[in-house]
Copies of this chain bind each other. A is one copy, B any other.
Amino acid sequence: MTLSLDTGRRIARSVHAAAHRLQLRPLTIVVLDSGGHVVVAERSDASPIGRFEIARGKAYGALALGMNSRAIMERGERQPQFVASATAALDGRVIPVPGGVLVDDASGRLVGAVGVSGDTSDNDELVAMEAITAAGLAPRGAWA
């Protein structure tokens, strides 16, 4: 396993802690390994019932296309037909809005992805990146 259950739990816990600190809406977190398979998923109380699929799609799409979901969104603004068709080709598992972040280990090797859904997309992405960093890993994509 490229990303351990223990690390996945730590990431999920950090996301919830950040959400609490920033007073965000209830969040759903999905942590995938580099093969796109669920390691950890957690849906906060009152997080709507479809958020697991949304969070997973943010993370899975990032892995599938090799870029954070924000970058997929930007690609979609230039080439909407590509993103729509890629989504269909990938069985609906691409959600092209921010909140899906690729995860590298200390040596720069891709080990998985985190998807967060529930607040604004920008905040979903922010807390995902914070949590990855807090777990000692490196989130793809620069951020301010």
Interface residues of A (CB under 8 A from B): 1, 4-5, 8-9, 33-54, 56-57, 61, 63-66, 73, 76, 79-97, 121
Q: Are A64 and B42 in contact (CB under 8 A)?
A: no
Contacts of A94 in B (CB 8 A): 50, 85, 88
CB closest chain-B residue, reference A39: B43
Contact partner, A96, options B48, B81, B121, Cβ 8 Å: B81
Given A9-B42, A64-B50, A97-B79: A57 in contact with B37 (beta carbons within 8 A): no
Residue of chain B at shortest CB distance from A94: B85
Given A73-B81, A81-B83: A90 and B53 interface contact (C-beta under 8 Å): yes
Residues of B within 8 A of A8 (CB): 42
The CA-CA distance from A56 to B86 in the complex, in Å, is: 11
Contact A37 B38 (CB under 8 A): no
User: In the complex, are the beta carbons of B34 and A35 less than 8 A apart?
Assistant: yes
**Contact, CB under 8 Å: A48 / B76:** no
Report the minimal beta-carbon distance from A88 to chain B, rounded to whole angstroms.
3
Supply 13 further A-B pairs (C-beta < 8 A) apart from A35-B36, A80-B81, A85-B94: A5-B42, A5-B43, A5-B45, A33-B49, A36-B49, A37-B49, A41-B41, A48-B65, A51-B66, A54-B86, A56-B89, A82-B121, A88-B92
